Amino acid sequence: MALYKLFLCPDGSLNKAVFTVNMSCIPFDPANTDYRQFKIDVADGEPLEDPDGKVMTQDEVNVFLKTIP
């Protein structure tokens, strides 16, 4: 199981992740300390699942990180 999972909104956008340890929601808001930690963790190799439950490769994660604030 990955530490983080991306959440797909009904409109198809990605605007939050879930911390799977306690199922807390992390909005993609640069002012949010959990969001900043999420970005550090996944950049450093913590597992990240896409909205379909597939664990992303580090290359996929790196590309994704460039698309969010």
Q: What is the pLDDT of residues 16-62, one digit of tens each?
A: 998 998 989 999 999 999 999 999 999 999 999 999 999 999 999 99
Question: What tokens were used for 20?
Answer: 């799977």
Q: What is residue 1's predicted lDDT score, i.e. its pLDDT? A: 64
Domain count, the chain: 1
Query: What's the Cα-to-Cα distance from 37 to each of 20, 30, 52, rounded to whole Å?
Result: 14, 10, 23
Q: Are β-strands 4-8 and 48-49 bridged in parallel, bridged antiparallel, or unpaired?
A: parallel
Buried b (16+ CB within 10 A) or exposed e, 38-47: bbeebeeeeb
Query: Quick one: pLDDT at residue 14?
Result: 83
> Does 69 or 13 have the greater pLDDT score?
69
pTM given for the model: 0.88
**What's residue 11's pLDDT?**
81
Give pLDDT, residue 58: 98
What residue numbers bound the domain in which 38 lies?
A: 4-65
